[in-house]
Amino acid sequence: MTQETVMITDDIRKFEEENIRIEYYTLDGKHPELYMCPGDLMMICNVLHDYASLLEELLKSFPEQLPQFLYEYHAGRCRKIQYKIENEMGYSTEKAIEKCRKRQGRMHKDDDVGEDAMVLAVRRRREHPAPPAKDQEHNETSKPVSKGDVTGQINLLDLLGR
């Protein structure tokens, strides 16, 4: 649930430069204005979606232990605010999540960034072996490399002075 909305951030970054004016009324009668970019409003929609989904999941998991009316009310209120913002912007969190899941389905299993880099390197080497180097074949038949020869390999002990 929350993983999909976090992965939507690439789509949100596209809208970071534009600003949308939000007007609201305070209890003392003032009429302040707030300017937000569409990316921030999308983020708010995603957070409201995740929070409402979390409340609904909690109600399913612990129906006897939680005040059901209160949780349903807050989840409904979050959805109402989310849909109001989405309708004005022409954005849909549900469609963005579907798009993200399709994108995840196309990803290869070898692209897992959490996997050890060494394991990935070994797999790639096994799948695509490197051709033998031309110099390697030549060195086997040529004379041995002397200690001071900078074109050949240098012994680590020579560098340490041993």
Residue 32 and residue 34: Cα distance in Å, rounded?
7
Does residue 104 lie within any of the structural domains?
Answer: yes
Does residue 42 lie within any of the structural domains?
Answer: yes
Average pLDDT of the segment spanning 1-27: 69
Does residue 133 lie within any of the structural domains?
Answer: no
Predicted confidence (pLDDT) at residue 140 exceeds the cutoff of 90? no
Return the bridge partners of 34, or none: 22
Does residue 72 lie within any of the structural domains?
Answer: yes
Average pLDDT, rounded, for the chain: 76
Owning domain of residue 19 = 2-111
Residues 6+ apart with CB under 8 A from 33: 21, 22, 23
Cβ distance 11 to 96 under 8 Å? Answer: yes
Does residue 61 lie within any of the structural domains?
Answer: yes
Q: Is the overall model pTM greater than 0.75, yes or no?
A: no
Domains identified in the chain, total number: 1
